[in-house]
RNA sequence: GCGAAAGUGGCGGAAUUGGCAGACGCGCUGGACUUAGGAUCCAGUGAGGUUAAACUCAUAGGGGUUCAAGUCCCCUCUUUCGCACCA
């Protein structure tokens, strides 16, 4: 293997020396700083951003392909004349870094900085046009300081609160776990059973923005799929809140329902064990073993399993009753496993006749059914019901609402509740507030001090950032390492000076990534997160690129933050990302390329052997940006061969290309073959522009480059061309590097320079076609008889329809297929075809 | 279960508004060349058929609209993704 590579490299020195070329241009780009976007420019701005990488230290080919798409767009927009900013940075806080440091007996700060240095080299070797002067890293105090500042602003606006709630808790790791970190009820890291623990956690009130987050009218171009996912995630439903009364008290038990039309059919109430009333009863009846056991069991059940549709509904009668305000009915209150505490009001009015879940539960526990909506044919009977009747119908057993249509009854009944003070019309969302607390060291500290006298006190601005202490022993204790740094925890209260304690929870890393796109506009500002002026200049991000897996996480959080920052007056626009492209993954051996699957390809391996341009060209050519790419070693070679042929074409013809630039006007006659080349050139430019600028379909743009190359290579002996022909040939050759530049920038720049050009390709405009040359002397019409291809004719472009028909009917093969039959219709599609319909 | 997207050669994928299906690349076959290479060049390559043509069939399967359907409509199948006790 080694021998082969060596030998090959030597051979290659004769021609396409990609290693040298790529280093050369990477250096030139850096020295000239052409990708450092100025904050003032006569050009219009264009902000291209790919979701920043996690600072894992290693970029495999799968990661790289994401950034290639952004880089292509960025270079295209530069050619088009925009002031392009394409920044890069690192998502650098988080559990993986902390775990990595534990494994390597190091400190996350050190390992993360090492990783970042390694990634920078990797990025450079792939030829990215990043604005390195704007590099950020979320784990540096100059960045996270402003995350803390934002936390404070959110707090001041009432958008942050602490709440006790049941959380996935791993006792061994001593932290809250997200739902996706719980695998079959066990901790993904240590395997111990995850419990539900009632903890006080910090929340961001994202639900406050639920309504606006459903509105996508201000984005320019987002995939419909992502919009649907976010809308489903937010899950808006209209309904009513109605207060039932706990029997024997004045206590109200509010319920939320989307079906107020069924309210006369309520036969019991269902509460989850987490409900405050239930919690109160648990305290009142410590000896009620049945109740205690049931609630304990349900609460500790895995959240995912518990909310699965297949899970059998279970419950226990609480011994209490509630009163339905509409009819005074006395209904049993059941504690069940199928009601969720954190949706609606956490209490459900159960209507077994008209709700499938309630139906199943009632059947099991012999709770009566009451029909209040009849089928139009009035055939519904309680004894015969096999399932709940959830369709609309006619109201029965519902006092004054009897006889009306159930769909109309929804608003009538809601209004009746409002008039009587029993309830109100409300909207409920599936979206929950965002729990941002993490009991981990490697994250942004929550800037709060707990004072025994003043309670929660925000750290004053002048004391920001609350820096993470360095002297922790990561991994030494299972507890949050911050708990073991008393000199950090114990501080005087900023308000009263009493001895107080710092908050030791850190923020979810999604907080860090919710506003980084804005920080790039002014990354070195040490007075504020970013200046309003610069944010208004650069924002919104014109083109954002990233994986669909962030549809309901990062992309939703960032929209929330953006709207909040707009309400603070920090930014003007309504949406952070005007256009979104969700790129596909790189697939190898049938699976996503990932370290854990062991199917990663190291870009360095490919770059050393074929060059970054080959890697870029292959990945972009293999499929459209939003689709997955199948990794293929053979495909790489195809891209490599293509670039070598480009190299040879231009390198072999430099003399002619240079000579043609000295030629003045000339009026030599042009041969047919050169006329075809001229047409191919302009047609290729036309299609390339369509693919690159209109459709963003880079695979076909590269295919166009390949076809164009093949067309030029048809010219065998350029030395025999006359002056006029030579100019056409040279124009074609000079166009190719321009078309290649976004995909394979190094080879394009090198060839462009070798041709004698002094400027660089980002600065020389898009290739332009000339309408006049998109016309050929002859056009081919195909002739169909009854829809089948029967012949082709070549005609003048400006020929009349009648004439085409005549010529078409004269074609032998066409005649044969018409034979004895009558011609019913002849259709001429201009420039394309003649369709003849025949029959008896 | 509900919703969405998709299904095209041996493979990745083209086909812009209903208008020559399979662009481009890989692979494969045959040939040329020799610095025997992960090199280059030429020719061929959906299936059947033919010396070569003609011709027939073909875009998951079945029906329909149309002079004309990968593209539009209806039904079925498969795959992928999202949601899935949200009252």
pLDDT tens for A694-721 read 999 999 999 999 999 999 999 888 888 8
Q: Is the CB of A12 under 7 A from strand B?
A: no
Asked whether strand B has any atom less than 7 Å from the CB of A652, the reply is no
Reported confidence tier of residue A807, pLDDT bands at 50, 70, 90: confident
Coil, strand or helix at A271: strand
Q: Write down the pLDDT at residue A475.
A: 66
- Comparing A91 with A715, the larger pLDDT belongs to A91
What confidence tier does A377 reach under pLDDT thresholds 50, 70, 90? confident
Give me the percent of chain A exceeding a pLDDT of 70.
96
* pLDDT score of A809: 85
Tell which wins on pLDDT, A798 or A219: A219
In the prediction, which pLDDT does A234 show?
A: 92
Q: Summarize pLDDT for A450-469 with one digit per residue, the tens.
A: 999 999 999 999 999 999 99
Protein CA at A801 to nucleotide C1' at B65, angstroms:
27
Does the C-beta of A258 come within 7 A of strand B?
Answer: yes
- The full DSSP string for A155-167 is HHTT-EEEEEEEE
Higher model confidence: residue A302 or residue A580?
A580
Which nucleotide lies closest to A637 by the C1' atom and the CA atom? Answer: B38
Q: Are strands A506-507 and A437-438 parallel, antiparallel or unpaired?
A: antiparallel
Q: Are the CB atoms for A354 and A390 separated by under 8 Å?
A: yes
Please tell me the distance from the alpha carbon of residue A62 to that of residue A584, in angstroms, as a whole number.
Answer: 9
- State the average pLDDT over residues A156-170: 87
Residue A131: exposed, middle, or buried by beta-carbon count in 10 A (0-12, 13-18, 19+)? buried
Q: With beta carbons less than 8 A apart as the criterion, state whether A428 and A275 touch.
A: no
Note the CATH architecture for domain A779-839: Roll (3.10)
Joined together, the tokens standing for residue A209 give: 């923005």
- Tokens 């406050």, located at residue: A208
* Arithmetic mean of pLDDT, A168-191: 69
| Smallest CA–C1' separation from A705, nucleotide | B24
Rounded CA–C1' distance between A363 and B45, in angstroms: 67
Does the C-beta of A6 come within 7 A of strand B? no
Instruction: Report helix angle A612-622 to A603-610, nearest 10.
Output: 110
Q: What residues pair up with A315 in beta bridges, in sequence order?
A: A336
Rounded, the Å distance between the CA of A307 and C1' of B84 is 9
pLDDT over 90, % of chain A: 67
Protein residue minimizing CA–C1' distance to B54: A813
Nucleotide nearest residue A694, measured CA to C1': B16
Alpha helices in A300-446, H assignment, sequence order: 303-306, 356-364, 406-419
Measured distance CA(A502)–CA(A505) in Å, rounded: 9
**Distance, CA of A65 to CA of A615 (rounded, Å):** 9
Asked whether residue A93 carries a pLDDT value surpassing 70, the answer given is yes
Show the tokens assigned to A726: 């030579």
pLDDT tens track for A721-766: 888 999 999 999 999 999 999 999 999 999 999 999 999 999 999 9
Q: What is the pLDDT of residue A10?
A: 36
Q: What are the residue boundaries of the structural domains of chain A, listed by start?
A: 163-200, 236-429, 779-839
Q: Which pairing describes strands A373-374 and A394-395: parallel, antiparallel, or unpaired?
A: antiparallel
Q: Is the CB of A602 under 7 A from strand B?
A: no
Q: Which of A339-343, A380-384, A395-399, A801-805 has the lowest mean pLDDT?
A: A801-805
Q: Tell me the Ramachandran region of residue A589: left when phi exceeds 0, alpha when psi lies from -120 to 50, beta otherwise.
A: left
Q: Report chain B positions within 7 A of protein CB atoms.
A: 3-5, 11-16, 19-21, 23-27, 35, 37-42, 54-56, 67-69, 81-87
Omega within 30 of 0 (cis) for the link into A465 = yes
Nucleotide nearest residue A640, measured CA to C1': B38
Q: Name the strand (E) or helix (H) holding A198.
A: strand A195-204
Q: What Å value separates CA A55 and C1' B75?
A: 51
Q: What is the pLDDT of residues A595-644, one digit of tens each?
A: 777 888 999 999 999 999 999 999 999 999 999 998 988 899 999 999 99
Q: What is the pLDDT of residues A581-598, one digit of tens each?
A: 999 989 887 788 887 778
Q: DSSP class of residue A747?
A: H
Token digits of residue A8: 């090959």
**Token pair belonging to A590:** 């049938």
Distance A441 CA to B7 C1' (A): 48
- What confidence category does residue A661 fall into, taking pLDDT thresholds of 50, 70 and 90? confident
Mean pLDDT of chain A: 90
**Strand B reaches within 7 A of the A643 CB:** no
Q: Is the CB of A135 under 7 A from strand B?
A: no
Average pLDDT, stretch A361-371? 94
CA-to-C1' span, A276 to B8 (A): 59
Element (DSSP H or E) covering residue A313: none
The third-level CATH classification (topology) of the domain covering A236-429 is Isoleucyl-tRNA Synthetase; domain 2 (3.90.740)
Residue A376 has pLDDT above 50, yes or no: yes
The maximal CA–CA distance of chain A, rounded, in angstroms, is: 108
At residue A615, the pLDDT reads 96
| pLDDT value for A484 | 86
Beta strands in A292-396 (DSSP E): 315-323, 330-336, 348-350, 373-374, 394-395
Name the residue closest to B16, CA to C1'. A690
Our measurement of CA A394 to C1' B5, in angstroms, reads: 38
């Amino acid at each position: 293997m080694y021998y082969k590579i060596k030998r090959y490299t030597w051979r290659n020195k004769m021609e396409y020396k990609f290693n040298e070329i790529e280093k050369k241009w990477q250096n030139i780009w850096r020295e000239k700083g052409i990708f450092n976007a100025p904050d003032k420019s006569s050009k219009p701005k264009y902000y291209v951003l790919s979701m920043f990488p996690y600072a894992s230290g290693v970029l495999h080919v799968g990661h790289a392909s994401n950034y290639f798409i952004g880089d292509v767009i960025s270079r295209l927009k530069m050619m088009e004349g925009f002031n392009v900013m394409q920044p890069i940075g690192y998502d650098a806080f988080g559990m993986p870094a902390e775990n990595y440091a534990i494994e390597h007996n190091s400190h996350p700060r050190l390992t993360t900085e090492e990783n970042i240095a390694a990634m920078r080299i990797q990025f450079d070797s792939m030829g990215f046009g990043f604005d390195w002067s704007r590099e950020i890293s979320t784990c540096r105090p100059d960045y996270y300081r402003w995350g803390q500042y934002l936390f404070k602003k959110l707090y001041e606006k009432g958008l942050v609160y602490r709440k006790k709630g049941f959380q996935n808790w791993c006792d061994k790791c001593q932290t809250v776990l997200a739902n996706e970190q719980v695998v079959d009820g066990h901790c993904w890291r240590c395997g111990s059973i995850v419990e539900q623990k009632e903890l006080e956690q910090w929340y961001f009130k994202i639900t406050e923005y639920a309504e606006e987050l459903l509105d996508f009218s201000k984005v320019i171009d987002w995939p419909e799929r992502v919009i649907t996912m976010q809308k489903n995630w937010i899950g808006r439903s209209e309904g009513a809140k109605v207060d039932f009364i706990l029997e024997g008290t004045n206590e109200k038990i509010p319920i939320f329902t989307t079906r107020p039309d069924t309210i006369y059919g309520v036969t019991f109430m269902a509460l989850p064990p987490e409900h405050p009333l239930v919690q109160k009863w648990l305290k009142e009846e410590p000896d009620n073993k049945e109740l205690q056991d049931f609630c304990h069991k349900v609460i500790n059940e895995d959240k995912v399993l518990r909310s699965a549709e297949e899970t059998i509904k279970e419950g226990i009668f609480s011994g209490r009753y509630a009163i339905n305000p509409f009819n005074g009915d006395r209904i049993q209150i059941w504690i069940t496993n199928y009601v969720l505490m954190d949706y609606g009001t956490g209490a459900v009015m159960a209507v077994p006749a008209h709700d499938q879940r309630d139906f199943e539960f009632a059947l099991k526990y012999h709770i009566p059914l009451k029909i209040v909506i009849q089928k139009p044919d009035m055939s519904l009977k309680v004894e015969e019901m096999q399932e709940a009747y959830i369709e609309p119908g006619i109201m029965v057993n519902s006092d004054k609402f009897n006889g009306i249509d159930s769909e109309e009854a929804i608003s009538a009944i809601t209004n009746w509740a409002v008039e009587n003070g029993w309830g109100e019309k409300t909207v409920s969302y599936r979206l929950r507030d965002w729990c941002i607390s993490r009991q981990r060291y490697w994250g942004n500290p929550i800037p709060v001090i707990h004072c025994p006298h003043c309670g929660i006190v925000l750290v004053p601005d002048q004391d920001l950032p609350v820096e993470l202490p360095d002297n922790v022993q990561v991994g030494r204790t299972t507890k949050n390492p911050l708990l073991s740094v008393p000199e950090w925890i114990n501080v005087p209260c900023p308000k009263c000076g009493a001895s107080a304690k710092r908050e030791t929870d850190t923020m979810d890393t999604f907080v860090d990534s919710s506003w980084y796109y804005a920080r790039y506009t002014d990354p070195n500002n040490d007075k504020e997160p970013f200046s309003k002026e610069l944010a208004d200049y650069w924002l919104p991000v014109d083109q954002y690129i990233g994986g669909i897996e962030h549809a309901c996480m990062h992309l939703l959080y960032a929209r929330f933050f953006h709207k909040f920052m707009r309400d603070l007056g920090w930014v003007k626009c309504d949406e952070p990302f005007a256009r979104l492209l969700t790129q596909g993954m790189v697939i190898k051996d049938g699976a996503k390329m990932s370290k854990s699957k062991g199917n990663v390809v190291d870009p360095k391996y490919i770059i050393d052997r074929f060059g970054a341009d080959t890697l870029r060209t292959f990945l972009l050519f293999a499929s459209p940006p939003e689709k997955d790419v199948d990794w293929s070693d053979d495909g790489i070679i195809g891209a490599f061969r293509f670039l070598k042929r480009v190299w040879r074409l231009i390198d072999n013809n430099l003399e002619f290309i240079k000579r043609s630039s000295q030629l003045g006007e000339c009026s030599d006659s042009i041969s047919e073959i050169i006329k075809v080349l001229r047409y191919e050139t302009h047609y290729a430019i036309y299609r390339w522009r369509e693919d690159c600028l209109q459709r963003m379909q880079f695979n076909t743009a590269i295919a166009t480059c390949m076809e164009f190359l093949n067309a030029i290579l048809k010219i065998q002996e350029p030395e025999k061309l006359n002056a006029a022909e030579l100019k056409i040939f040279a124009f074609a050759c000079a166009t190719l590097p321009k078309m290649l530049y976004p995909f394979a920038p190094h080879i394009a720049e090198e060839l462009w320079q070798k041709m004698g050009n002094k400027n660089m390709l980002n600065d020389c405009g898009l290739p332009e076609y000339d309408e006049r040359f998109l016309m050929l002397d002859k056009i081919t019409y195909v002739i169909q008889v009854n829809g089948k291809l029967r012949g082709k004719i070549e005609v003048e472009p400006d020929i009349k329809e009648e004439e085409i028909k005549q010529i078409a009917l004269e074609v032998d093969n066409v005649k044969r297929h018409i034979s004895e039959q009558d011609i019913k219709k002849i259709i001429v599609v201009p420039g394309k075809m003649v369709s003849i319909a025949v029959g008896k």
